[in-house]
Amino acid sequence: MPWCIYCRHPATVTVIEISAVIGIVVWAAGYRLIRPCMFLAGFVLGFLIFYVFSPLIFKTQLCCGPNGKEIAHVLFSALVGVFGGFLGCRLYRLGVFTIGECLGLLVGLTILSTPLYKYFHSNIAYAALMATVSLMFGSLAHFYEKPVVVIATACAGSFAVFYAIPVFVCWGVSTAVGCAIQYKVTANSLNSNSNLLQFCNCCDRPKPDR
C-alpha cells in the first residue's frame, strides 16, 4: 500500500489525522458551516496554486528556486492559503465559487484514477483537465448553490476521512504486529531480571531505592 509511506513522517500523519477530524465535521454539517468551509476551500486553492506555480515565477534561493528550502516553500504556500481563505470568507460569492472548484478538483482526481488517465500524457494535459473541471463546477456553484455546496462538502469530508484510513490501518496494524512479535518471540523468555538485559548496558535501568 503506497500510502503507508506516510507512517514514516509523524508530521504528515498528524496533518492527515487533523484533516480526518475536520473532514467528519465538513461531511456531516458542511452547508450549515458554510463560512468555515469557504475558508477551507480558499485555503486549499490558494495553497495549491502557489505551491504548484510559484517555482515557475519566484526562483529565489529562500523559497521556490531549485535550491530553495522545502519548508519555506510550504510556509509561504500556507500564508497564501490563509489569505485565500480570508477572501473566501469575506466575499460570499467567491467563497461559494471556491467550494465548487474544490468539488471540481475531486472530480478531476477521480477521472485521473480511471483508465481515462491514458489520454492525458503530460503535466499540461493534467493541469488543463483540473482547471477545466474545477472552473465548470465553480460556475455551477454560482447557479445551484445549495446542491453543489452539499455535494462538495460531503465529497471533500468523506475524501479526507477515507484518505486517512490507510494511515490509521497501516500504523495500527504495524504497531500490533510489532507488539505481538516482541511478546510472543523476541521478549517471550526475558524479564526484568534476565541476564541478557543485565549484559546490555543500554537496557540497564537504575533501580529504585528500597
pLDDT in tens, the chain (210 residues): 444 444 555 667 677 778 888 888 888 888 888 888 899 999 999 998 888 887 777 766 667 656 567 777 888 888 999 999 999 888 989 999 999 999 998 888 888 888 887 777 777 888 888 888 999 999 998 898 888 889 988 888 888 888 777 666 666 666 677 777 776 766 566 555 555 445 444 444 445 444
Q: What integer pLDDT is reported at residue 8 of this predicted model?
A: 53
Q: What integer pLDDT is reported at residue 208 of this predicted model?
A: 46
Q: What integer pLDDT is reported at residue 33 of this predicted model?
A: 86
Q: What integer pLDDT is reported at residue 65 of this predicted model?
A: 59
pTM flag (> 0.95) = no
Q: What integer pLDDT is reported at residue 15 of this predicted model?
A: 75
Compute the distance between CA of residue 167 and CA of residue 106 in angstroms, rounded to an integer. Answer: 20
Q: What integer pLDDT is reported at residue 2 of this predicted model?
A: 47
Cα distances from 17 to residues 39, 120, 141, 167, 177, in angstroms, run 19, 32, 29, 9, 21
Q: Which candidate, 105, 45, 53, 103, places its Cα nearest to that of 78?
A: 45
Helices marked H in the chain: 10-29, 34-57, 70-90, 92-112, 123-143, 145-181, 195-199
Q: Which candidate, 47, 4, 21, places its Cα nearest to that of 157?
A: 21
Residue 194 Cα to chain centre, angstroms: 45
